[in-house]
Amino acid sequence: MGVASGALGIQKAQAQQPANVPLAVLGLEATDGAPSSVANTITDALRQKVANAKGWKLVPGKDIMEVKLVFSCPDEAPSCMAQAAKSLGAEKLIFGSVKRAADGYLVTLKMLDASKARVDAWVAEQIARTQATGPAIRGPVQKWFSTLTGAGASGTIRVTSDVVGASVLLDGLPVGVTMDEPLELGGIATGRHEVVVSKPGYEPVRRDVDVVGGEVVSLTAPLDAVAPVAAPPPVGGEALGTAETVPAEEGDGTGMKIATWSTLGAGALALALGVKFSLDVRQADSDLDPLRRFPCEPTSTVKDCNEAGERVGGLSPAESDEAQRILDDAQGLRALQWVFYGASAALLGTGLYLYFKTYASPDDPDGGDLALAKRIRMAPVLTPGGGGVSARLSF
C-alpha cells in the first residue's frame, strides 16, 4: 500500500536565466502584525543577494504598497505587476509579504516574468524570530533565491505506508493521504525536511529526511496500531481472573450518517462564505475605481486623470488614506475568500468520502468495505495551495 499523490506550496523552480538579467526586488509587505523592520531586513538581504549573484543585474525597486497603489494592483495580478516591472526596467520581479505566525514569521515570495506576465515560481516558509535579523536571515534568503531562480537543484521524496487513509505532512503542511500508490513529492528544496505519517488509532511515524538535488529519497512508514486500554481490576471480593472481552454491539450507522451530513453541510457553508467574500472583494475593487489615477497624455508621467480620461487632479491626503484603507480591507477579504474555498474543498471531499462509506452498501448499514464502498476509495487532499479529492476505483 502507498500514498496518494499531493501538491506542495513550492512550485518547481524555473530554469537558470542567461547572464545579466535585470531583476528588481520590491519592498516586502508587512501584514497581520508583522513589524515593518522585519520586512525591510528581508528586502535588504534579498537585494544584496541579487547584487552579488552571477547572471543577475539588480535594478532599483520600490515598496510593494506604492506599486500596488500607483498601478492599481490591489490583488497583485501578474499582468498588472508585469507593467510595474517594465516601468522599473526589470525583466524579472521578486515581491511578497511577511506575516506574523505563532512563534515567528511566515515569508511568501514570488518570482514574476514580466515578458510573459506570469509567476514562474513561489516559496512560502516560516522562520523563527531569531532568524529575522541581518546575519541570521542570510541562510534562508540564499535558499529562497535558489528556489526562485532555479540556481539550486531540487529533489524528490517518495513515501510508502501499510495503512490506507493516514495523513501525510511535510514540514508541518498536509500533502496527501495514504492510498494504493506511492506518494512522490517533487520539487523539494535541498536540505533536511520532516515527514509525519499519522492516523487515529495508530502510532504516528516521524522521520527527518535529507533531500539532495536530483535524487529520490524513499521513506517507508509502517504504522503500529495503538494497544487497547486494559480493563480495570474488579472491585470487592470477586476473584481476580482474566478479563473477558465483550464485543461491542453493532450500531445502525447513525453516527456515521450524522458525521456525513454535518461535514457536507459545513462544506456547503464554507463554500457560501467563500462566495460572499469574493463578492466583497469585487465591491472593494469597485469602491477603489473613483480613486484610481492615470496619465492624461500617453507620454505624461503625471497621473491626474480618472478612468474616463477626465482631468481631476491628484489624490488628496484624505483620498490617499481612503485608497489605502480599501486596499487593506480587500487584502483581508481576499485571504478569507481563499481560506473558506480551501476549507469547503476539504470538507466536501471528506463528506463525499463518508457518504460512500455510509450509504454505498445496502447490506452494510455501518458503511463497511462491501459492494461499492469496497471498490471505491475516496479521500480528501489538503495542500498549502488549495484542496481536492482523490479517488481510486477497483474493478
**What's the average model confidence in pLDDT over 10-21?**
51
CB-based burial, 2-17: b 16+ in 10 Å, e otherwise: bbbbbbbbbbebbeeb
Is residue 375 one of the residues assigned to a domain? yes
In a domain, 248, yes or no: no
* 301 has pLDDT over 90: no
Q: Among 24-33, 46-55, 101-110, 379-388, which is the least confidently predicted range? A: 379-388
Mean pLDDT over 144-173 rounds to 83
- Whether 137 is covered by a domain: the verdict is yes
Please give the share of the chain, as a percent, with pLDDT higher than 70.
75
Is the per-residue pLDDT at 371 higher than 80? no
At which of 149, 174, 197 does a domain end? 149
Residue 246 has pLDDT above 60, yes or no: no
Q: What's the average model confidence in pLDDT over 327-337?
A: 87
How high is the pLDDT of residue 352?
A: 83
Decide which of 172, 200, 220 is a domain's last residue.
Answer: 220
Do 277 and 373 fall within a single domain?
yes
- Decide if pLDDT at 189 tops 80: no
Q: Mutual orientation of helices 36-52 and 138-149 as an angle, nearest 10°?
A: 60
Residue 224: alpha-carbon gap to chain centroid: 30
Residue 76 and residue 113 in one domain: yes
When mean pLDDT is compared over 113-117, 136-140, 249-253, the highest value belongs to: 113-117
Domain boundary among 196, 220, 244: 220
- DSSP letter at 202 equals B
DSSP annotation of 60: -
Q: Are residues 42 and 139 in the same domain?
A: yes
Same domain (yes/no): 259, 387: yes
Q: How confident is the model at residue 4 (pLDDT cuts 50, 70, 90)?
A: very low
More confident residue, 352 or 38: 38
Choice between 48 and 373, residue whose per-residue pLDDT is larger: 48
| 130 and 214 within one domain | no
Domain range holding 174? 154-220
159: CATH = 2.60.40.1120
- What is the predicted pLDDT for the residue at 196? 95
Task: Check whether residue 60 and residue 93 sit in a common domain.
Answer: yes
Q: What is the pLDDT of residue 286?
A: 83
Q: From CA 119, how far away is CA 13, in angstroms rounded?
A: 11
CATH code of the domain containing 49: 3.40.50.10610
For residue 93, count CB atoms less than 10 angstroms from its CB and return exposed for 0-12, middle for 13-18, buried for 19 or more: buried
227 is a domain residue: no
Tell if the pTM clears 0.85, that is, is over it.
no
Q: What pLDDT is recorded for position 97?
A: 94
Same domain, 289 and 210: no
Q: Is the pLDDT of residue 370 over 50?
A: no
Q: Is pLDDT above 80 for 62?
A: yes
The C-alpha cell at 275 is 462566495
Q: Which long-range contacts (CB under 8 A, 24 or more apart) does 197-201 make?
A: 197/159, 197/161, 197/166, 197/167, 197/168, 197/169, 197/221, 197/223, 198/166, 198/167, 198/169, 198/223, 199/163, 199/165, 199/166, 199/167, 199/223, 201/225, 201/226
Same domain, yes or no: 103 and 199: no
Structural domains in the chain (count): 3
Sheet containing strand 167-170, edge to edge, reads 2-3, 173-179, 167-170, 191-198, 205-211
Residue 236 lies in a domain: no
Q: Write down the pLDDT at residue 116.
A: 92
Per-residue pLDDT, 385: 55
Whether 304 and 376 map to the same domain: the answer is: yes
CA distance 102 to 343: 20
Q: pLDDT > 90: what percent of the chain?
A: 26
* CA distances, 324 to each of 28, 33, 193, 279, 331 (Å): 16, 16, 39, 19, 11
Please identify which residue in the block is written with the cell numbers 529520490.
216
Q: How confident is the model at residue 367 (pLDDT cuts 50, 70, 90)?
A: very low
**9 domain-assigned:** no
Confidence of residue 139 (pLDDT cuts 50, 70, 90): confident
On whether both 129 and 161 belong to a single domain, the answer is no
Mean residue pLDDT of the chain comes to: 79
Based on the fold, state whether residues 104 and 161 are members of the same structural domain. no
Q: Which residues contact 296 (CB under 8 A, 6 or more apart)?
A: 302, 304, 305, 309, 311
Give 246 or 11, the one with higher predicted confidence: 246
Segment holding 392, helix H or strand E: strand 386-393
- 122 and 177 in a single domain? The answer is no
